[in-house]
Amino acid sequence: MKLATWNVNSIRARAEHVARWLEAEAPDLLLLQEIKCEAAAFPAERFAGLGYRAEVVGQKSYNGVAILSRPPVVVRARALPGLAEGAEQARYLEVAADRLVVGNLYAPNGNSGGEAGFAYKLAWLEALAARAAALLAEDVPFVLAGDYNICPAEADLAAGALGPEDALVRPESRSAFRRLLWLGLTDAVRALHPGGRVFTFWDYQARAFERDLGLRIDHALLSPAAAEALRAARPDREERAREQPSDHVPVVVELAL
């Protein structure tokens, strides 16, 4: 099973990038975030021609997640369970692909909306931890992958890339990420690349990519059974060097399932 997660920062602007990447990498599943369109506007036909079905949870102009799949999938959830009524945004899509459950997530950034915006980020992450605990209780292999909008440790950002007050590095955000690990989940990239600069995002401003002022905020967390099957995990850095790229790159995970 080869899967990947990619915040594309508008699927309609990046559809040809995604199509080219699918042809080159041929993942079984591609999890997309920040598609920035409603389901009816998603270019599903473009990917159907490459053999991929699309499941989409969209929202006009903002957020939005989708999963492109070659094998058949069964949708288990189109929103993150456990959020307060009215708090749902288009940020979560969960499917079952054979024996593997996959949650595609786009966590709130937390830097907009003041302290209320940051509180929503923490509430969302609390609901994600509850979902992870429920999936662990099901005793099925699963992956929770996507844009977490968290740099888990200082090694996950270039020096000077963010200030200490940024929501991506605030202690509460990092604590929420550690909570997922303490439940028993494995950070796929760090399991195989425990040290060094492994980034998944470079801002468009201040020549961040050319200066390698990157962040690692796109993660794949694996249940114990999925972690035992882990064979490879890597960001595809080359995508950021292309013309009119997303500011994120795909993170590829291969499991012997």
Residue 108 belongs to domain with CATH number: 3.60.10.10
227 assigned to some structural domain: yes
Q: Domain range holding 91?
A: 74-249
Judged against a pLDDT cut of 70, whether residue 197 lies above it is answered with yes
23 assigned to some structural domain: no
Judged against a pLDDT cut of 80, whether residue 85 lies above it is answered with no
67 assigned to some structural domain: no
127 assigned to some structural domain: yes
62 assigned to some structural domain: no
Considering its fold, how many domains does the chain have in total?
1
pLDDT digits (tens, 9 = 90+) for 71-84: 999 999 999 998 86
132 assigned to some structural domain: yes
DSSP 183: T
d(Cα 74, Cα 145) in Å, to the nearest integer? 17
| Strand 218-222 with 100-106, pairing | unpaired
Bigger pLDDT: 85 vs 220: 220
114 assigned to some structural domain: yes
Strand partners, 75: 95
Distance of CA 48 to the CA centre of its chain: 22
pLDDT digits (tens, 9 = 90+) for 145-166: 999 999 999 999 999 999 999 9
84-88, 175-179, 202-206: which has the minimum mean pLDDT?
A: 84-88
50 assigned to some structural domain: no
d(Cα 216, Cα 157) in Å, to the nearest integer? 6
